[in-house]
Copies of this chain bind each other. A is one copy, B any other.
Amino acid sequence: MAIRAAVAGASGYAGGELLRLLLAHPEVEIGTLTGNSNAGQPLAGLQPHLLPLAGRVLEPTTAEALAGHDVVFLALPHGQSAAVAEQLGDQVLVIDCGADFRLQDAADWEKFYGSPHAGTWPYGLPELPGARTALEGTKRIAVPGCYPTAVSLALFPAYAAGLLEPEAVIVAASGTSGAGKAPKPHLLGSEVMGSMSPYGVGGGHRHTPEMIQNLSAAAGERVSVSFTPTLAPMPRGILATCSATARPGVTGESLRAAYEKALRDEPFVTLLPEGQWPSTAAVHGSNAALLQVAHDEAAGRAIVISAIDNLTKGTAGGAVQSMNIALGLPEELGLSTIGVAP
């Protein structure tokens, strides 16, 4: 019997990617789709790549519209999820692609988001230590941010193995879909094509405390994070360059061994063969995360590169993967590690 899934915020990029993946999921039947300013419009013009849903019309985002489903995905602006979730009741699986329930520390939340903390839900990054257990059978999932996904997958094996000093330096490049579909001048094609630019420099990006939370948990001590996001001239993809001072005795071999061990059974996270480096093209549209590690002896640092699709593994794919776990389905169901390239 099919799992009925609703998507709130179906006209945005996260919503569109959720629908793309749910259409390919053998156990899911797509139910209600909602929007705000686009309510009443057919999906044809809003998501022209989703032909099988072209005739679907968006309803307003209300608890009534979202009732009667087994799973409700929320792809809403920050701060709107708590009220909707509460009305849906605790028997429906609610999967929030927004930030509202990601952080454990209320002070962090208030500092970075400027509103009262709504709470903390099981965190939808199954690869982190202990995460799968927390997701099994849960009715509430907080899907990680796209950058924290890329960065946490890159660094948790080394921190969990005690190989790195607790000061990580991260520079990540993201495709423009990470900035959403609301039209703003700096996101125009004319502005972004041919251009790289940073934003949120100096510790201000909201994904920073989420990275600190994940890496600190893996390390068993407080990890500081210097995070610089940059906007790259591509629609999708995150390439994260992560490094930290290697602890005494760490070698290229011991570094690599830690990743091989930590990732041995992971279906979606792959340490590439030596000499091959991740690219965002290779994970375009796929739920895979590609990793490669290097030990720079001269600089005394370990460098880990990860590539994900910000909309797939970084958002909608991670959400579906976590849904599978919560519902007791095979974790890989409906998901793929095959990219669309070139």
Contacts and interface: CB of A to CB of B under 8 A. Distances in A.
B226 A276 contact: no
A280 interface: yes
Contacts of A9: none
Interface string A227-271: 010101111110101010000000000000000000000000010
Interface string A254-297: 00000000000000001011001111111111101010101111
Contact of A239 (B225, B230, B296): B230
A194 interface: yes
Contacts of A201: 277, 292, 294, 303, 305
Interface size class of A (residues with CB under 8 A): 35 or more
A195 B279 contact: yes
B341 A173 contact: no
A217 interface: no
Nearest to A183: B183
Contacts of A273: 44, 54
Given A285-B340, A342-B236, A197 B300 contact: no
A131 interface: no
A196 interface: yes
A105 interface: no
Given A176-B190, A233-B189, A23 B239 contact: no
Interface in A171-215: 171, 173, 175-177, 179, 181, 183-185, 187-199, 201-203, 208
B187 A188 contact: yes
A220 interface: no
A284 B184 CA distance: 22
B196 A288 contact: no
Contact of A189 (B45, B52, B189): B189
B195 A294 contact: no
Contacts of A175: 190, 194
Looking at A167, A199, A282, the one whose CB has the most chain B CB atoms below 10 A away is: A282
**Copies per complex of this chain:** 4
A173 B23 CA distance: 30
A199 to B, nearest CB: 7
A307 B196 CA distance: 9
A295 B202 contact: yes
A224 interface: yes
Nearest to A188: B187
B193 A234 contact: yes
A289 to B, nearest CB: 11
B193 A193 contact: yes
Interface of A: 13, 16, 20, 23-24, 44-45, 47-52, 54, 167, 169, 171, 173, 175-177, 179, 181, 183-185, 187-199, 201-203, 208, 224-226, 228, 230, 232-237, 239, 241, 243, 270, 272-273, 276-286, 288, 290, 292, 294-301, 303, 305, 307, 336-342
9 contacts: A175-B190, A187-B188, A187-B190, A189-B235, A194-B284, A198-B278, A203-B296, A224-B300, A232-B232
